[in-house]
Each structure stands twice: as structure tokens, then as C-alpha cells.
Amino acid sequence: MAVLAAPVVAAVLLLTWAAYGEAQYVLYKDATKPVEARVTDLLARMTLAEKIGQMTQIERQVASPQVLKDYFIGSLLSGGGSVPRKQATAAEWVSMVSDFQKGSLSTRLGIPMIYGIDAVHGHNNVYGATIFPHNRIGAATALEVRATGIQYAFAPCIAVCRDPRWGRCYESYSEDHRIVQAMTELIPGLQGDVPANFTSGMPYVAGKNNVAACAKHFVGDGGTQNGVNEDNTIIDRRGLMTIHMPAYLNALQKGVSTVMISYSSWNGIKMHANHDLVTRYLKDRLNFKGFTISDWEGIDRITTPAGSNYSYSVQAGVLAGIDMIMVPNNYQSFISILTSHVNNGIIPMSRIDDAVTRILRVKFTMGLFENPMPDSSMADQLGKKEHRDLAREAVRKSLVLLKNGKTSDKPMLPLSKKAPKILVAGSHADNLGYQCGGWTIEWQGDTGRITVGMTILDAVKAAVDPSTTVVFAENPDADFVKNGGFSYAIVVVGEHPYTETKGDSLNMTIPDPGPSTVATVCGAAQCATVLISGRPVVVQPFLGAMDALVAAWLPGTEGQGVTDVLFGDYGFTGKLPRTWFKSVDQLPMNYGDAHYDPLFPLGFGLTTQPRTY
Ligand code: GLC
């Protein structure tokens, strides 16, 4: 055996040491390096398969740690109602997310996955979470989302709903873009406040108590003709830019990390295939540097019928500028087709690199590489009392008093807590699912005691004096009411839960027996009607019978927010965020229209003073 000379041995040792040292130092893993340097370093190391994996978001039900590893999947989501098990605890969510994350971290480059969920009015998929009135209180929501190990919320929806017949109108803050612009404050609530020297368009997430947010759905989702969901928004560019676009500028100024593309079309062009608005306007003109994401099977719906030409859908969606595709199920097909489009030169590598650069930028910025695993110590954030109190306050402030007394000199509210006997009636008085509405526990919401919370009936019983007898009758007959000796009645009726297209309505009436319950009870006793709905509905025909009318919207888990103002612990202050029509024949009708003849105008709301006991 040849004996190596000392200098050769020294050289080999030196090279080995250097190689070993080199193998240990990997720039993208160095948190002291600038994000852009880390992105560039990591991108340069990635294969096409690893890049396309980052662009792929799949549903948890088709995922496993092995799938995440084998396909380099960059993101997971829970669709509406997709949970580890019914009433899963925070710990069970954390365990599920941890297992998936271990799969991603076991890949060659160890790129952590980001898990998204529709936390659109609290962490609404999760049993026991605080359910806020839609679109409020970002910071508390972020903490409850993180309690389950999830780092990404598909919120806020900054749609400007221009026709309440749209099934998603309750997800929109208002018909007035200025209100929607103001309410983009949910973004710093979710993500944290951007620093002083922040550059608009860059993504920002302060740390592991925050989540990446998602401004949706870009753009014009709330302007479709007749409010038909996912349909066509017919408006000139000026109208699009002055009504539906302004809130996106606010969102970018506040560092929103992602933007979800709308199913809808603008003047016949599908948004998911709209390169002019997604790339040339949002990315190039507004300088958005986070990542865009498709909606659920959003690229499939580029074609009619949906999915009829998936190869074209992949090409059109990715070339339009969509960076991450919420596939969410047939990921093998998506990955195979996109790979083929790149290999055949149909989609340039530069487009893939732009998409992956944006995705990695968000992941590095939010610290996901440094903190990929859930923090199980945050479990107690889920449904904590401080958050419920916050939600209760939000409910109080969002209720709108539309009528108070048959004559203004005899207001009915606030109600007495010391009445001898009162009646609580109506389909929505003792139904937590109804008062939470859509996007709660189940995608379409549900009925009954669906999670932890207080119904309005619970809250009435808790609010009144012990000497007061509270009688509950969901749909009493007139004799029962007449002969009951009730000082007054509270009637709680409204819409049943719905989400997306299921909520599209042409008649805008509340389901039976709501109207007849109101007519019966209010015909036999002094009555305060509380309306549970995601939007203005038909009320004019029975407005005269009511002594008082409160629009309670979808108050979520905190029924006491409703009784706080009914009984005068707090005054009514809420104002209508949208026009309340007289008849559906008037729709669409928005503040500022030439012909504007509402039952109650945008901004209307009676006030009351808190009781001084
Ligand atoms: C839905 C909605 C979108 C939601 C996504 C994931 O279809 O359009 O708002 O974020 O799918 O659940």
C-alpha cells in the first residue's frame, strides 16, 4: 500500500475540512442574512420539481408527510369544515400540522410548508374558537390560529359588495369602498404593524404570534351582475379602479403577504387568466412583492365547464401571474402538466422563478424557516376570555338600531331587566349555529350548539333580574302570547347559514316561519325584533307591526353582545355599512346612485344612552 507524503495528507485533510465546513454553511439557512439573499441562494439550489412543489397548495385530506416529502409540496390548507376530527382540540390541530411539517422539513432542502385556513371571523373552522362578527379583530384571530399551529389566514375579504343578493355580501365590509379601505386594518391585526421605513408592496409578518394574511378576492368579486357569485363584473376601468381596487392599495401599504384571485370575471375576462390586472397592474404597477394564490380550483374554472381543459387552465393561470395554485386535490395532474409546460417552453422558467421567489420571500419574511413547528404553548389562546370579551364588544358596536318605538316619543329600548315576565321567541333565539352563520365549523355553517358560546336566549336569561320570568317559545300562537301576561317580547328571526353561491338570493326574504312569528308575536305584545342576517333583507312588510327592530348581522358566539345593548348596559352606536332597500326590485341600489330611495340609507342607525341604574 503506498504511504502518502505528509504534504499530501495535509492537503487532503485541509480540503476535507473545507468541504465539511462548506457543507455546514448554507446561506439560505443563515437568519442573519437579508431575505433577498436567502431567497436567491435557495432558488439557485432548487430543481424544477422542488420549485413547482412550492407553487402547489393541497388540501389536508389528500396530504400526508410522505406526499409532502415526495412532491416537495409548499403549502396545505383546510377547506371549510376540514378538521382533524370533529371538535378537535388545539393540541390535535398542532399534532396534525407538526406531522405535515416534519414531512416538508425532511426534503433535501428542508423548505417548511405554510398551512392556510379561512379564519374569516375568528378561527371559525375550529371548535371552541371565538367567533367574531364577520371581519373583525385580527390580532385575537391570529393568536387563535397560531394556537392550532397554523400560520396563514385567507383573510380579509376586501370585496366591495354592490348587490346584497350576492351570497358573500356578509364577507364584505361595505358597499362603500372607503369603509372597506379603513377596515383593511384587519391586516396589521393579523400580521402585525409594518415598521416605519416599510416599502409598500413587500410582504410583512411580525413574528410567530402573527399569521400571513390574504387580501381577497382580486378584483371586483363584489360587483358581479345581480350579485351572482363568481359571475361577471361589468364596469369600465374607471369604475373598477375607483370602487373595487382602492382597498388593495391600502392592503399593500399595510404589508399584506398574499392576494387571492377572484373566481369572477371583469367584462368577460376571467380574473384567474387576467395577466393585465394580476401581473401588469398588481405586481408591476403596484409593486406587490408577496405571492398571489388562486382560489379553490380557481384555475379549473377558467374554462366552461370547469376543468374541461386543465392543461390550458394551468397555462393561463400561471402565465397570468398566479404564483401558488390552490389545486387542491389533483396535485399529481397539476404538477405533471406544469412540469410539461415548462419543459416544452410554454411557460418560461422566469415565470416559475418569479412565483417561487415570492413564495420564499413570504416564508423567510415571516420567520417560517426559523420557527417551522407549531408552538403548543399557545393552545390556551383558543377561545380565551379576553378574546370573547373583545368579540362581545365588537358585537355591541356592530348592531344597528333601525326602529325604536312606534312613535319616537315612546322608545321601547333599552328594555327593563326587572319586568315580571317576558317572552323570547323566534327560530334564531336559541341557535348558536344560526347566529354564527356561514364559514363556521362547517363550510356552510350549521344549526344548533355547534361550538362553545352563548345564544341570545342564554344571554337574556343571564341579563335579567332573578325575579324576572323568561319564557321561551320558538313559534308561539297568538293566544299563547295574548294570554301570557308578558311585559314585552324579544323576537329573534333571520337567515339560515349559507356560504358562497348557496347564499345567492333573488327574493331576499327570511325563511319561514320568521315572518309569521313576527306577525303573531308583535300582533299580541310589545315586541323588539332582532334580525340575524348577513345582509339587508325584506322587512318593510312587517316593519309597522314591530315596536323596535335591531339588525344584529351575524353576532357569532357572543350573544351577550346583543343583550348588552338591548338592556342598556351600553348604548346603540352602530351605523348601517350598506343600504337597506325597500324592495328587491330596486336592486342594485347604492349610496350615491342617481335614483336612491332606501328604507334605511347607508350610515343610518338610531342611538340610545346607556341605562343609569
Ligand atoms: C373558497 C373561497 C375562498 C376560500 C377558499 C378556501 O371557495 O372562495 O374565499 O378562501 O375557497 O377555502
Q: What pLDDT score was predicted for residue 12? A: 64
Q: What pLDDT score was predicted for residue 131? A: 85
Query: How far is 490 from 412, CA to CA, in rounded Å?
Result: 11
Residues with CB under 6 A from ligand 1: 79-80, 118, 154, 216, 295-296, 500
Pair (402, 507) in one structural domain: yes
Q: What pLDDT score was predicted for residue 132? A: 84
Q: What pLDDT score was predicted for residue 9? A: 66
Last residue of a domain, one of 329, 357, 381: 381
Query: How far is 424 from 457, CA to CA, in rounded Å?
Result: 7
Strand order in the sheet with 527-532: 400-404, 548-553, 527-532, 488-494, 421-425, 469-473
User: For a pLDDT cut of 70, what percent of the chain falls above it?
Assistant: 96
* 531 in Cβ contact with 493 (< 8 Å): yes
Pair (436, 351) in one structural domain: no
* 218 in Cβ contact with 259 (< 8 Å): yes
Q: What pLDDT score was predicted for residue 408? A: 82
* pLDDT beyond 60 at 231: yes
Which CATH number fits the domain that encloses residue 495?
3.40.50.1700
Pairing of strands 325-326, 56-59: parallel
Helix (H/G/I), strand (E/B), else coil: 537: coil
Q: Does the residue 612 lie in any domain? A: no
Pair (399, 534) in one structural domain: yes
Q: What is the mean pLDDT of the chain?
A: 96
* pLDDT beyond 90 at 189: yes
Which CATH number fits the domain that encloses residue 227?
3.20.20.300
Catalytic residue from among 118, 221, 230, 295 = 295
Q: What pLDDT score was predicted for residue 612? A: 81
Pair (144, 288) in one structural domain: yes
Q: Does the residue 237 lie in any domain? A: yes
Of 287 and 4, more confident: 287
Choosing from 57, 75, 118, 158 the residue with most ligand 1 atoms within 8 A of its CB, the one to mutate for a pocket test is 118
* pLDDT beyond 60 at 22: no
Pair (377, 391) in one structural domain: no
Mean pLDDT of 254-272: 98
* pLDDT beyond 90 at 182: yes
Pair (365, 422) in one structural domain: no
The predicted-structure confidence for 250-261, as pLDDT tens digits, reads as follows 999 999 999 999
Question: What stretch of H or E contains 146?
Answer: helix 138-146
Residues in the chain: 613
Q: Does the residue 240 lie in any domain? A: yes
Last residue of a domain, one of 381, 415, 446: 381
Q: What domain count does the chain have? A: 2
Pair (403, 460) in one structural domain: yes
Q: What pLDDT score was predicted for residue 1? A: 44
Distance 443 CA to ligand 1 centre (A): 10
Q: What is the DSSP letter of 613?
A: -
* pLDDT beyond 70 at 124: yes
Pair (367, 486) in one structural domain: no
Mean pLDDT of 188-212: 97
Q: Does the residue 216 lie in any domain? A: yes
Q: Does the residue 16 lie in any domain? A: no
Q: Does the residue 515 lie in any domain? A: yes
Pair (254, 348) in one structural domain: yes
Query: How far is 21 from 32, CA to CA, in rounded Å?
Result: 18
Q: What pLDDT score was predicted for residue 595? A: 96
Q: Closest ligand 1 atom, CA of 118?
A: 10
Least confidently predicted of 14-28, 109-123, 311-325, 339-353: 14-28
The predicted-structure confidence for 408-421, as pLDDT tens digits, reads as follows 889 999 999 999 99
| Nearest CA among 317, 120, 263, 290 for reference residue 201 | 290
Last residue of a domain, one of 329, 352, 381: 381
Pair (449, 353) in one structural domain: no
User: For a pLDDT cut of 90, what percent of the chain falls above it?
Assistant: 94
Pair (377, 393) in one structural domain: no
| Nearest CA among 139, 108, 104 for reference residue 45 | 108
Pair (358, 444) in one structural domain: no
Bridge partner residues of 233 (DSSP): 266
Mean pLDDT of 563-567: 98
* pLDDT beyond 50 at 466: yes
Q: Closest ligand 1 atom, CA of 79?
A: 12
The predicted-structure confidence for 520-533, as pLDDT tens digits, reads as follows 999 999 999 999 99
Least confidently predicted of 124-128, 341-345, 555-559, 588-592: 124-128
Catalytic residue from among 323, 500, 547, 564 = 500
Q: Is position 295 annotated as part of the catalytic site? A: yes
Mean pLDDT of 374-395: 96
Pick the residue whose CA is nearest to atom 12 on ligand 1.
Answer: 79
Q: Does the residue 437 lie in any domain? A: yes
Distance 353 CA to ligand 1 centre (A): 26
Q: What pLDDT score was predicted for residue 90? A: 97
Q: Closest ligand 1 atom, CA of 216?
A: 9
Provide the domain limits for residue 163.
30-381
Q: Closest ligand 1 atom, CA of 154?
A: 10
Distance 380 CA to ligand 1 centre (A): 27
